Amino acid sequence: MERRTRVRFAPSPTGPLHMGGVRTALYNYLYAKQKGGDFIIRIEDTDSHRFVPGAEQYIIEALGWCGIIPDEGVDMATGQVVETPSARHPHAPYRQSQRKPIYRKYAEQLVAAGKAYYAFDSAEDLDARRAAAEAAGETFIYNQKTRLQLRNSLTLPAEETERLLTETTDWTIRFKMPENTVVKMDDLIRGHIEMNTNTLDDKVLWKRADELPTYHLANIVDDHLMEITEVIRGEEWLPSLPLHYQLYEAFGWTDTMPRFAHLSLLLKPVGNGKLSKRDGDKMGFPVFPLRWVAADGTASHGYREDGYFPEAFVNMLALLGWNPGDDRELFTMEELIQAFSMEKVQKAGAKFNPEKARWFNKEYLRQKSEEELTDLFLPVLSKHGIADADRDYVLKVVSLIKERATFVEDFWTIASYLFIAPSQFEAFGVKAGAAVAQKPADPRAKVYDDSLTAPFLAKDTEKFWNAENAAAARETVLSLQGKSFADAHAMSEAIEDYIRSKEWPMGKVMNTLRLALTGSASGLGIADIISLVGVPEALARLDFAGQQLESR
């Protein structure tokens, strides 16, 4: 009998979801959608001590931004985790803290079957044993070798166990890991794996103190109850897989046990180790999908706020550890769903490459229509003090600069001179030469040259500006006065013809003009600029540049 594919993403609300978590959610989503199945969200908040307010909302919002829409568990209309069962959400509640009553009976069931036992050792006692063992160069493990020397229902008289069970609350139910058994497991990504149970410990399944299950119990019970068919999760769970296999067996659920796939971790761009929040802050790239402000007020960057398109972010993430088997790199979500396959998921951890992330964004920006980009650029302009920009004018600007940008925000640094004159740069907070800043801040790349930080006209001036060139530039612009041109190309021809007819040096005159028009040594074609700002404005900028230089 073929079961309907049902996968779940089960985050713990202990903080913002980071990009590795988003990737796990994405792979789950792609897998489910390809099989025409369900993608379920379940909140694993069984650790009362590590709960972080706002984390759950953050996770849902982040997935929504990425276009990873759950079929079950969260009502996307309200953005809330579903608490009461309905046709669409039959297994509610989807928050484990609200499923508290469910777990105890399963834990007790294992005790009754002799597959688990009550343990009365205090956390302090166990910590002390661990410390003592460590001091002696050994490792303390609660397992088949030590369980008979500890305080539990296996060693205590029945009456004492009964008394402790009713009179105290500091006890747990532990899984009685079978001895010397080779667990044979299969992983969709890694293939066959075997492990001997002697290397495993008796994990706590349920805690009387807060009457909550631990991850292992809650996870198996809920996956079973929610009819999960594939568990796709991070590699950090691989060492727990034999325990989970044993739990399915102990419960007698092996016939419906899900298949497992353990995803490798995302690694930091340089050096070794997994990607962490600190790396992002240090190297200037986000590790979170959305901006996150911690309780202590420290903020972390988010891809959304940093100007990434969600499609680009998702596309980049999908290809970090998976490939379609051919050379394609650009995928819509729909195409990812079609192309995804677990066999093509990489076993090794993938180092995240911020440069490639920017490249993806640039590609997606180029794919967007000029209309759409204009809509996105207008608010940016407004933010920079250009509130009354004419839409048609902005549209023209966008069409000229879209291929030069990685982010919509770049449009401003690239083309601020098309909205304000160099004489206004200071007032608008524009750095002279900023238009050169095509490349983002990457500490490994030497992309900035001195001209960037040089004050307006200081350095560029020496190259182009002198009385002769200034006069020639002015006369060239004057020659355009009163004439109309079909387009910038026609104007360009006129300008070049004029300069040639005077036998002036083309490059020098053009660059002198550019300096006056843009405040820097780089920028769009001269005719493009003049046809946008107009001849009178061009003359005014020429005058201003001249004044600046004479007063030096």
Residue 521 near RNA by CB under 7 A: yes
Residue 69 near RNA by CB under 7 A: no
Shortest gap between Cβ of 530 and RNA (angstroms)? 10
Tell me which amino acid residue 464 is: F
Nearest-CA neighbor of 360 among 396, 322, 320?
320
Question: How distant is the alpha carbon of residue 385 from its chain centre?
Answer: 30
Cβ proximity to RNA, 209 vs 293, nearer residue: 209
Angstrom distance (rounded) from CA 514 to CA 523: 7
Cβ proximity to RNA, 212 vs 533, nearer residue: 212
- Cβ neighbour number for residue 310 with a 10 Å cutoff: 18
353 phi/psi in degrees, rounded to 5 = -120, 105
Residue 100 near RNA by CB under 7 A: no
Shortest gap between Cβ of 1 and RNA (angstroms)? 30
Residue 129 near RNA by CB under 7 A: no
Residue 214 near RNA by CB under 7 A: yes
Quick one: which segment of 28-36, 156-164, 237-245, 293-301 binds RNA (CB under 7 A)? 237-245
Q: What residues numbered 174-203 form the site for RNA, per CB under 7 A?
A: 190-191, 193-196, 199, 201, 203
Token duo for residue 68: 């990873």
Residue 136 near RNA by CB under 7 A: no
Tell me which amino acid residue 278 is: R
Cβ proximity to RNA, 294 vs 299, nearer residue: 294
Q: Which of 85, 506, 534, 547 binds RNA (CB under 7 A)?
A: 506
Angstrom distance (rounded) from CA 515 to CA 531: 16
Confirm if 213 and 103 have CB atoms less than 8 A apart.
Answer: yes
Nearest-CA neighbor of 480 among 511, 513, 512?
513
Nearest-CA neighbor of 222 among 93, 315, 327, 108?
93
The interface mask with RNA, positions 319-338, x = CB under 7 A, is xxxxx-x-x-x---------
Alpha carbon distance, N-terminus to C-terminus of the chain = 86
Shortest gap between Cβ of 181 and RNA (angstroms)? 13
Q: What residues numbered 252-281 form the site for RNA, per CB under 7 A?
A: 264-265, 267, 269, 272-274
Cβ proximity to RNA, 221 vs 320, nearer residue: 320
121 phi/psi in degrees, rounded to 5 = -70, 135
Helix (H) or strand (E) holding 351: strand 350-351
Cβ proximity to RNA, 201 vs 306, nearer residue: 201
The interface mask with RNA, positions 483-502, x = CB under 7 A, is ---------x---x------
Confirm if 81 and 56 have CB atoms less than 8 A apart.
Answer: yes
Backbone Cα Rg of the chain: 32
Residues 6+ away with beta carbon under 8 Å from 191: none
Confirm if 94 and 44 have CB atoms less than 8 A apart.
Answer: no
Confirm if 496 and 546 have CB atoms less than 8 A apart.
Answer: no
277 classed as catalytic: yes
Catalytic residue among 33, 176, 277, 402: 277
Cβ proximity to RNA, 86 vs 276, nearer residue: 276
Residue 507 near RNA by CB under 7 A: yes
Shortest gap between Cβ of 503 and RNA (angstroms)? 15
Cβ proximity to RNA, 253 vs 359, nearer residue: 359
Angstrom distance (rounded) from CA 534 to CA 484: 11
Shortest gap between Cβ of 3 and RNA (angstroms)? 24
Angstrom distance (rounded) from CA 254 to CA 216: 16
Shortest gap between Cβ of 238 and RNA (angstroms)? 5
Q: What residues numbered 423-462 form the site for RNA, per CB under 7 A?
A: 436, 438-439, 445, 447
Angstrom distance (rounded) from CA 177 to CA 481: 90
**Which 3 state secondary structure label does DSSP give 74?**
strand
Strand-pair category, 80-81 with 266-267 = unpaired
Residue 235 near RNA by CB under 7 A: yes
Shortest gap between Cβ of 481 and RNA (angstroms)? 19
Q: Which of 349, 422, 433, 519 binds RNA (CB under 7 A)?
A: 349
Count residues near RNA (CB under 7 A).
91
Residue 56 near RNA by CB under 7 A: no
Residue 467 near RNA by CB under 7 A: no
Token duo for residue 39: 């993608």
Residue 531 near RNA by CB under 7 A: no
Residue 171 near RNA by CB under 7 A: yes
Cβ proximity to RNA, 3 vs 184, nearer residue: 184
Cβ proximity to RNA, 506 vs 551, nearer residue: 506
Q: Which of 228, 418, 473, 524 binds RNA (CB under 7 A)?
A: 524
Question: How distant is the alpha carbon of residue 475 from its chain centre?
Answer: 53
Active centre residues (catalytic): 277
